């Protein structure tokens, strides 16, 4: 079978939109009657005011700050964001953001199953099937993505091997011992496992992994291709977040991501005004409404993810709306010396042209009135001093071409930069601290 849900994945666009409008009105009514937050926020709008998808644009968006604020009231810890009685909550999860207080996310058994079903779409689209033995090289803790991946793999009929409570070497031995042939990973940790395996004299391609789905961080195409080369396997991306769930995934055509319709209503809005839907090929901010989750209703959640809008057709036959790529987080975009800069561009350059670079970090500082942008890079320890010097010069040149900014490149000793498993923090803007 080609699709996880052959009916939903091939519906005509108009039918999809009709279903989404009807689901939107349902979740809107539910939010207004069951969540204190939305009772107050949406006081002046009634479900009957939403006759078309255009009417949705009149409804105010929701952002993370508001969720945090409303979680400070009773009942602890979800406060006014709860959409069901607290006795019906069966699962606690929280966001893994690096700044500010986390958002606590309640799931009922029903809403958790809704999330798993969404993930089944994502994994099936990435070619996960019952013959796969899926290794997850993490302890999942209170973070949501790998739990969803775990249970959705089970629902698909795969065999799941949880790889928590082991170090990287232990995980490599486990992959070999049990002959895992599929993995869920973060892009960073995928690269790290490969690097460690090579140090142990093992070629990561010899693991015989067929499929890998990445989660947790934005993944430039160059990083995805690098993982494919290292493991000789198919690597797939998806996008999502703890609050709205994963809402788009990559099919085997590997040309962009399909929005998981009609589970989500996704608007891709002009980033200046946040009003108008962008045209195909343009960059916009993704505003997401999960349409079937009652425990933690979200109406027009501003994900702050910048994406390029794509087509609503694909060689795989699915009719769902596509996005071409994830550009990055709006919070990570910076003006540096008047130039708009996205850290993802640096990763793209490094993964594409500098395979000798094993880890890196971007630091922006302020000296007097001047913004300085530093690239700290760690290269393969087997490189000669001369090659290290050449890499340093080439890095400076390539980054200048890609970003229009001059970087100060600093070569760091092997093992001195931090290594990440769940969420990489390779970009540090210290301008406020170094003024
Ligand atoms: Zn497709």
Instruction: State the distance from the centre of ligand 1 to the C-alpha of 25, rounded, in angstroms.
Output: 28
Strand (E) or helix (H) holding 401: helix 385-403
Ligand 1 geometric centre to CA of 285 (Å): 22
pLDDT at 331: 82
Average pLDDT, the chain: 94
> For residue 165, what are the CA distances in angstroms to 140, 171, 370, 418?
10, 9, 45, 20
CA–CA distance, 129 with 371 (Å, rounded to integer): 50
pLDDT of residue 244: 97
- Residue 289 pairs in a beta bridge with 265
Residue 98 in this model has a pLDDT that exceeds 70? no
Nearest to 296 by CA among 35, 116, 77, 42: 35
Q: How many CB atoms lie within 10 A of CB 10?
A: 15
Residue 361 has pLDDT above 90, yes or no: yes
Dist. CA 15 → ligand 1 center (Å): 19
Confidence category of residue 332, pLDDT binned at 50, 70, 90: confident
How sure is the predictor about 99, in pLDDT bands with cuts at 50, 70 and 90? low
Provide mean pLDDT across the span 395-413: 94
Query: Ligand 1 centre and the CA of 315: distance in Å?
Result: 6
Comparing 37-51, 90-104, 239-253, 345-359, the range with the smallest average pLDDT is: 90-104
Q: What is the mean pLDDT of residues 212-218?
A: 90
Q: What's the CA gap between 321 and 318, in Å, rounded?
A: 9
Task: Tell me what the mean pLDDT of segment 7-20 comes to.
Answer: 97
Question: How many angstroms is it from 344 CA to the middle of ligand 1?
Answer: 24
State the Cα–Cα distance between residues 119 and 115, nearest whole angstrom.
Answer: 6
Of the listed ranges 3-17, 103-117, 310-324, 328-342, the least confidently predicted one is 328-342
Kindly report, residue by residue over 103-119, the tens digit of the pLDDT.
999 999 999 999 999 99
For position 435, what pLDDT does the model report? 61
Mean pLDDT of 137-158: 95
pLDDT at 4: 98
- pLDDT band of 66, cuts 50, 70, 90: very high
Going from the C-alpha of 19 to that of each of 9, 31, 33, 265, 300, the distances in angstroms are: 13, 18, 21, 10, 17
pLDDT mean over 306-311: 96
């Amino acid at each position: 079978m080609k699709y996880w849900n052959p009916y939903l994945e091939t519906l005509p666009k108009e039918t999809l939109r009709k279903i989404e409008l009807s689901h939107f009105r349902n979740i809107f009514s539910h939010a207004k009657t069951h969540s204190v937050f939305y009772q107050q926020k949406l006081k002046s709008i009634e479900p009957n005011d939403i006759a078309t998808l255009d009417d949705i644009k009149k409804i105010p968006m929701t952002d993370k700050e508001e969720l945090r604020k409303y979680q400070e009231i009773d009942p602890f810890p979800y406060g006014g964001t709860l959409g069901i009685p607290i006795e019906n909550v069966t699962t606690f999860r929280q966001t893994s953001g690096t700044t500010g207080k986390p958002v606590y996310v309640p799931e009922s058994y029903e809403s958790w199953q809704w999330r798993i079903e969404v993930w089944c779409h994502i994994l099936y689209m990435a070619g996960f099937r019952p013959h796969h033995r899926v290794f997850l090289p993490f302890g999942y803790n209170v973070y949501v993505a790998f739990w969803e991946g775990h249970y959705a793999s089970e629902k698909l009929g795969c065999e799941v091997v949880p790889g928590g409570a082991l170090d990287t070497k232990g995980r490599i031995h486990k992959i070999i011992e049990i002959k895992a042939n599929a993995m869920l990973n973060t892009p960073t940790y995928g690269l790290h496992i490969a690097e460690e395996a090579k140090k142990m004299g093992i070629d990561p391609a010899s693991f015989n992994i067929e499929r890998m789905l990445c989660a947790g961080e934005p993944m430039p195409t160059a990083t995805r291709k690098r993982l494919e080369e290292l493991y000789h396997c198919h690597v797939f991306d998806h996008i999502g977040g703890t609050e709205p769930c994963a809402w788009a995934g990559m099919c085997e055509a590997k040309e962009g991501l399909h929005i998981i319709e009609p589970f989500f209503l996704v608007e891709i809005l002009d980033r200046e005004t946040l009003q108008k839907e962008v045209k195909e090929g343009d960059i916009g901010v993704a505003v997401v409404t999960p349409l079937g989750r009652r425990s933690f209703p979200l109406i027009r959640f501003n994900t702050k993810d910048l994406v390029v809008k794509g087509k609503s057709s694909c060689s795989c036959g699915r009719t769902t709306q596509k996005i071409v790529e994830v550009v990055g987080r709006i919070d990570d975009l910076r003006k540096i010396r008047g130039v708009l800069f996205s850290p993802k561009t640096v990763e793209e350059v490094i993964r594409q042209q500098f395979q000798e670079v094993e880890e890196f970090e971007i630091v922006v500082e302020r000296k007097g009135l001047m913004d300085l942008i530093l690239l700290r890079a760690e290269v393969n320890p087997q490189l000669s001093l001369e090659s290290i010097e050449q890499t340093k010069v080439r890095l400076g040149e390539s980054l200048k071409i890609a970003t229009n900014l001059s970087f100060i490149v600093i070569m760091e000793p092997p093992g001195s930069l931090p290594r990440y498993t769940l969420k990489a923090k390779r970009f540090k803007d210290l301008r406020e601290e170094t003024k």
